[in-house]
Amino acid sequence: MNRLLLISLALNVVLLMAVLLVRTEPIVNADGEKCARASGDANGDGETDMTDAVHILSALFLGTPDPVPLCAAGGESSLPATGQSQVRYPGDDASYRTGCPIAGRFVDNRDGTVTDNCTGLMWQKETAPGVYSSSAAIEYCESLALAGHEDWRLPNVRELQSIVDYGRWGPAIDPAFQAGADWYWSSSAVLNSTDAVWMVLFNCGYVGHDIAVYTHFVRAVRGGL
């Protein structure tokens, strides 16, 4: 009995060491504080799994750091950084680089999707094939089945603009995505208009609008905080 107990303890120690050695990309607020995007993500690596249990047990019995706090749900710290890094004038955007940092923000899930560790949104990695009218873009996203998920939708204009990288040009987007320097539909209609819808141009990040029957590109999104 004692021998089995010792073997069990040894295996648990080996498992613990293996888990602790796994390297993960932390999530941080704008002020650099490590944080968790969801309750249960004790170590702030963006996942809820065995490593979180190990983190909690280590904090309780080994005196290691406490579980990380939840990321701010609103305010400046929950906004993405623009990506600008070249200072043109002291005090401009690149001088401060506020918001969720660009480095390590987008994770290629290797299943046709990209997760944004800043907003918690999951994106279609590739541009949808072909071009669509506004209504057809909505229908495409609503019927999309990708990476085991069927709750895809057409992003609103703020969500779509959130993945623009203003530190890049043509296309102005992180290389984790496959995108053209083109117009992409959002699901947001123009106020006081019966036929105009907001779009984002991924050549430079410009936000504009067009008549809904015209055709443009599409990228689906799911989830969110």
Structure tokens at 81: 């950084």
Shared-domain flag, residues 35 and 132: no
Is this model's pTM higher than 0.85 or not? Answer: no
Residue 75: per-residue pLDDT: 36
Task: Let me know if residue 194 belongs to a domain.
Answer: yes
Element (H, E) at 206: strand 206-211
Is 178 among the domain residues? Answer: yes
Residue 194's SS3 state is coil
Q: Clarify whether residues 55 and 122 are in a common domain.
A: no
Domain count, the chain: 2
**Same domain? 134 vs 215:** yes
Residue of 198 and 36 predicted with greater confidence: 198
pLDDT digits (tens, 9 = 90+) for 61-119: 777 877 766 555 433 346 888 888 888 888 988 888 788 888 889 999 999 999 999 89
User: 53 with 129, same domain?
Assistant: no
Q: Tokens at residue 149, please?
A: 């998920």
On whether residue 94 sits in a domain, the answer given is no
Question: Are residues 125 and 57 part of one domain?
Answer: no
- Domain residues for the domain of 23 are 2-61
Q: Is 95 contained in some domain?
A: no
**What burial class does residue 110 get, using C-beta atoms within 10 Å of its C-beta: 0-12 exposed, 13-18 middle, 19+ buried?**
exposed
The CB density around residue 30, as the number of other CB atoms within 10 Å, is 21
> Is pLDDT at 224 greater than 70 in this prediction?
no
Question: Are residue 125 and residue 52 in the same domain, yes or no?
Answer: no
Are 138 and 218 in a shared domain? yes
Q: Looking at the predicted structure, is the pLDDT value of residue 39 above 70?
A: no
Whether 97 maps to a domain, the answer reads no
